Amino acid sequence: MLNGNQGFIALIGLTSTVLFSTCTGVTVTIDILGDVIEGSETRMICNYNPTSGGTIIITWSNVTGGASESIATTVVGVSKDVQPAYSAIFSLDPNDDRALVIANTLRSYSGDYECDVVITGVSSGKDDVTLNVIYIEDPVLSLTTPVNEGDHVALSCDVVSKPNALFTFKKDVSILQQGGLSTYTFTADRDDQGSYTCETSNSAGTKATAGQVLEVFCKFFKW
């Protein structure tokens, strides 16, 4: 929550604002507008009001899990300091006293962050924001080959992702199955021989496996 006459924190990942909170001095409104994709830049913007009246000190902290650990402090117009333990991850924008920057956002940075603003002789206030990092890794397709005509065949596609991925199974260029199921099963026929792929997608992007060739041995009948 914001106290006093403070403004808002905006958390920005690439082109989308992740979380935005505003304060009129009486109420705080928080809207979640998007997520930060792993590998992108994240900018946390701490706006405050009033913007004058005394020395302005902006302190950023990691408050994940209820603990509070200082990340960086800006004394507006005087100094900018990032704690050594965080200097490999965070930086302070030299052109914007309000901004805390993560150049390469990793999933392990997900958590709660707080901006505390003190204006000497005037007031103080703070607000917190949750950083939610989404991601999708390269999927792995598993199948057993060769098989005999009439055998049960199961294709399994594994992927590490947040949020959960959707799966698209293809044979050559034809779509076999789409949706939340990570397996595709069928009874082998000679026409099933070909190259199979699995494509996975979520709001972080789309990744696909290389093609794997399924060989089907035909049955022969005696007359």
Residue 24 banded pLDDT, cuts 50, 70, 90:
very low
Distance from C-alpha of 107 to C-alpha of 99, rounded to nearest angstrom: 20
> In the structure encoding, which two tokens stand for residue 26, read together?
């009486």
pLDDT in tens, 164-202: 999 999 999 999 999 999 999 999 999 999 999 999 999
Distance from C-alpha of 201 to C-alpha of 208, rounded to nearest angstrom: 9
Same-domain check for residues 117 and 193 = no
Same-domain check for residues 158 and 101 = no
pLDDT in tens, 89-111: 999 999 989 889 999 999 999 99
Q: What is the pTM of this model?
A: 0.79
The secondary structure of 166-194 as a DSSP string is: EEEEEETTEEEEEES-SEEEEE--GGG-E
- Residues whose CB is less than 8 angstroms from the CB of residue 134 and which lie 6 or more positions away in sequence, other chains included: 35, 36, 37, 38, 162, 163, 202, 203, 204
Q: How many domains does the chain have?
A: 2
Distance from C-alpha of 214 to C-alpha of 130, rounded to nearest angstrom: 46
Distance from C-alpha of 108 to C-alpha of 64, rounded to nearest angstrom: 11
Residue 182 within a domain: yes
Same-domain check for residues 78 and 170 = no
Residue 208 within a domain: yes
Same-domain check for residues 92 and 199 = no
Same-domain check for residues 181 and 170 = yes
Residue 220 banded pLDDT, cuts 50, 70, 90:
low
154: which strand partners?
185
Q: Domain of 147: which CATH number?
A: 2.60.40.10
Same-domain check for residues 62 and 84 = yes
Q: Which residue has the higher pLDDT, 222 or 196?
A: 196
Distance from C-alpha of 161 to C-alpha of 197, rounded to nearest angstrom: 18
Same-domain check for residues 160 and 117 = no
Query: Containing domain of residue 42, as a range?
Result: 6-134
